[in-house]
């Protein structure tokens, strides 16, 4: 869906590269964070809606499953009474509810996939937003220091064309070096991110196995 595409774009965004291309880095960073916050609210709302729809589908499935069981009992009762015609009619109704139950099962499976996709997007965006809020402040501070150094260099330089050009180039190099050191700090190194994700998955797997083990012991 378009919402998930927008979220994916924000999650993949490299603030360092954006800053390098922006005429006003501070304004750009604030806008990116604002976009993340807006998308976060939208995804959170969609998760709630998707969960509500899932619960409704599960309820409808149970209702149809109960009706199927009820009509099967009626069919058995008719058989006991040796009324095959009535038994067939009851079985026909039971089959109808069984088909509806199976249809709801498929819808539930599709809805569960959608819910998990939205939850995953929400979690990734929440992490990205948290990192961006903290590290954007660092990048803004570095940008301001670089700009201050540039002004100071210009103020101390004699008003000759050659010297001013040299100082501007040196200031630009200093800024690029400062921004270069910030790269990898804004949103984290990809390798570190993957390792963190693996550790989280391992912890989740361990917790899941503990729960399963407790359930088996209590059974």
Q: For 196, how many CA atoms within 13 A lie in the half-sphere containing its CB?
A: 8
Whole-number pLDDT of residue 51: 94
Alpha carbon distance 4, 91 (integer Å): 45
Successive 10-residue mean pLDDT values, the chain, 219 residues: 65 64 70 84 91 95 96 91 90 93 95 92 85 73 68 56 61 64 52 68 68 68
Q: Phi and psi at residue 196, in whole multiples of 5°?
A: -60, -40
Whole-number pLDDT of residue 176: 65
Whole-number pLDDT of residue 195: 72
CA distances for 147 relative to 13, 132, 163, angstroms: 24, 22, 18
Alpha carbon distance 26, 122 (integer Å): 25
Alpha carbon distance 2, 41 (integer Å): 15
Angle at 154 between CA 148 and CA 160, to 5 degrees: 175
CA distances for 106 relative to 17, 27, 61, 101, 103, angstroms: 44, 47, 10, 9, 5
């Amino acid at each position: 869906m378009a919402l998930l595409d927008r979220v994916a774009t924000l999650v993949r965004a490299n603030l360092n590269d954006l800053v390098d291309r922006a005429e006003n880095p501070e304004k750009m960073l604030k806008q990116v964070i604002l976009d993340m916050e807006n998308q976060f609210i939208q995804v959170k709302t969609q998760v709630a809606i998707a969960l509500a729809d899932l619960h409704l589908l599960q309820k409808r499935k149970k209702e149809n499953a109960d009706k199927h069981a009820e009509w099967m009992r009626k069919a058995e009762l008719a058989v006991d009474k040796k009324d095959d015609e009535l038994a067939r009619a009851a079985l026909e109704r039971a089959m109808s509810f069984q088909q509806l139950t199976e249809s709801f099962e498929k819808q539930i499976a599709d809805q569960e996939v959608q819910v998990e996709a939205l939850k995953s997007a929400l979690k990734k965006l929440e992490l990205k937003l948290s990192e961006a809020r903290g590290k954007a402040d660092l990048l803004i501070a570095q940008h301001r220091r670089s700009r201050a150094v540039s002004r100071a260099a210009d103020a101390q330089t004699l008003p000759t064309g050659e010297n001013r050009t040299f100082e501007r180039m040196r200031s630009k190099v200093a800024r690029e070096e400062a921004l270069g050191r910030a790269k990898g700090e804004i949103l984290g190194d990809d390798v570190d991110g993957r390792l963190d994700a693996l550790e989280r998955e391992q912890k989740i797997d361990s917790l899941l196995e503990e729960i399963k083990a407790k359930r088996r012991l209590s059974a």
